[in-house]
Amino acid sequence: MEAEAPQRLTRIPKEQKGPSRRSRLGSTLNYIVLSILAAAWLTPLAWAVDTALKPESETTITPITWDSSNFNLGAFKEVIDAGNILRWYGNSALVSIVVTAGVVILASLAAYALSRIPFRGRTVLFWVILAGLMIPPQVLILPLFAEMQIFGFVNTYQGIILPQLASALAVFILKVFFDGIPHELEESALVDGASRLRIYWQIWMPLARPALAAVAIFTFVTSWNYFIWPLVVVTSTNMMTIPLGLQAVQSAFGVHYAQIMASAVLGGLPLLVAFIFFQRQIVEGIANTGLKG
pLDDT in tens, 139-148: 888 899 999 9
Peptide bond into 63 cis (omega under 30): yes
Residues whose CB falls within 8 Å of the CB of residue 107, separated by 6 or more in sequence, listed in order? 167, 170, 171, 174, 215
214 — phi, psi (to 5°)?
Answer: -65, -45
Full set of structural domains in the chain with CATH = 83-182+208-289 (1.10.3720.10)
Q: What pLDDT is recorded for position 17?
A: 53
Average model confidence (pLDDT) for the chain?
Answer: 80
CA dihedral 81, 87, 89, 93 (to 10 degrees): 180
Pinpoint the alpha helices (H) of 62-156. 74-82, 85-116, 122-131, 141-151
Q: Is the pLDDT of residue 59 over 80?
A: no
Q: Is the pLDDT of residue 80 over 50?
A: yes
Residues whose CB falls within 8 Å of the CB of residue 18, separated by 6 or more in sequence, listed in order? none
50: left (phi over 0), alpha (psi -120 to 50) or beta: alpha
Tell me the per-residue pLDDT of 39-58, one tens digit each, with 9 for 90 and over: 888 888 888 888 878 877 76
For the whole model, what pTM was predicted? Answer: 0.76
Distance in angstroms (rounded) separating the CA atoms of residues 50 and 32: 25
Tell me the per-residue pLDDT of 91-129, one tens digit each, with 9 for 90 and over: 999 999 999 999 999 999 999 999 888 888 888 988 988
Q: What pLDDT is recorded for position 250?
A: 67
Tell me the per-residue pLDDT of 240-285, one tens digit each, with 9 for 90 and over: 888 888 777 766 656 677 777 877 787 777 777 777 777 776 666 6
For 52, 65, 139, the CA distances from 57, given in Å and listed in that order, are 12, 13, 42
